Amino acid sequence: MARFRKILPEAIAILLFLIYMIPFALIIINASKPSLDILRDPLALPENISVLFANIARVYSSPNVQYPSAFMTSTIITVASCGLIVLISSMAAWVLVRTNTKLSGAIFMMFVAAMVIPFQVVMFPLIAWFFQIETFFGLRSFAGGSFRLLSNYPGIVLAYMGFGTSLSVFLYHGFIKSVPLELEEAAMIDGASKTGTFFKIVFPILKPITMTVIILNGIWIWNDFLLPMLVLGAFGGINTLPLAVNSFVGSFSKQWDLILTAAIMVMTPAIIMFLFLQKYIMKGMVDGSVKG
């Protein structure tokens, strides 16, 4: 009986793993077949695995996708957004924890409340707000030209920063509570400023939760389709990888072999990042929520 109790959780874990891997297996299987074979029998195994590599070459060289450009765009947006989220969220959480007043508590609860607001509720007001800001600054000179938020990097990065800050502040807030206050007091006695204390003493201690914040936001931003479509895609000019994949979806026909191959090419960088940084996820999540 004891052996059965030991084996049962492992068997359930293996079963769940297989169930969750089915969609990924189907993507790889069908990306290795011509489009007609996918429509004929999507569950059949591919006859020639070399079709996958041929499809990868077709996606990479497709003028509609422009994979290198889309890859660079997604990288810039993801890195810039994650960097700003980490910087602003960690500083905001540190101030909220160390201030410890009713006002700071109320502000923190506002961040927590913002986590439950669906993006779909605010997406159209967001675009309207961006358009109004463009209209306002378009009447004046700003940094040598009009101030653009739509179809431009600052707009999409600002949007991701706003939507990603709530969860990040929540995670940092719980983790910072576990940081001994004596370390900061000792640094200030030695003459360090508040800014120096944060960046030289506190921020290095936040490495586990910082990695967690980067992974959670990075994977979300990298794979996101709806927000870039609203802020970038509707106005042309800049394409992220998910938007580039959508170019294979036509009004009357869909190139399923290229769609699935492009999906693999989009997922691979995020999977690699997750595999390298996964050891920080559980530690950061536990320290950021339980200790809080």
Q: Report pLDDT digits (tens) over 175-212.
A: 888 888 888 888 888 888 888 888 988 899 888 889 88
**Angstrom distance (rounded) from CA 165 to CA 183:** 26
pLDDT at 5 over 50: yes
- Please indicate, yes or no, whether residues 94 and 140 belong to a single structural domain of this protein: yes
Task: Assess whether 74 and 208 both reside in one domain.
Answer: yes
Structural domain for 31, as ranges: 1-61
pLDDT-based confidence at residue 258 (cuts at 50, 70, 90): confident
> In this structure, are 40 and 143 located in the same domain?
no
How much helix, strand and coil, in percent to the nearest 5, is found in the chain? 75, 0, 20
Q: And the tokens for 269?
A: 């960088």
Can you tell me the distance from the alpha carbon of 74 to that of 78, in angstroms, rounded to the nearest whole number?
6
Residue 292 has pLDDT above 60, yes or no: no
End-of-domain residue from the set 61, 84, 99: 61
Q: Distances from the Cα of 116 to the Cαs of 109, 111, 196, in angstroms?
A: 12, 10, 34
217 — pLDDT class (breaks 50, 70, 90): very high
Stated pTM of the model: 0.83
What tokens appear for 60 in the block?
């990479």
Which pLDDT belongs to residue 147? 62
pLDDT for res 282: 60
Residues 72 and 44 in one domain: no
pLDDT value for 88: 94
101 and 32 share a domain? no
| Number of structural domains the chain divides into | 2
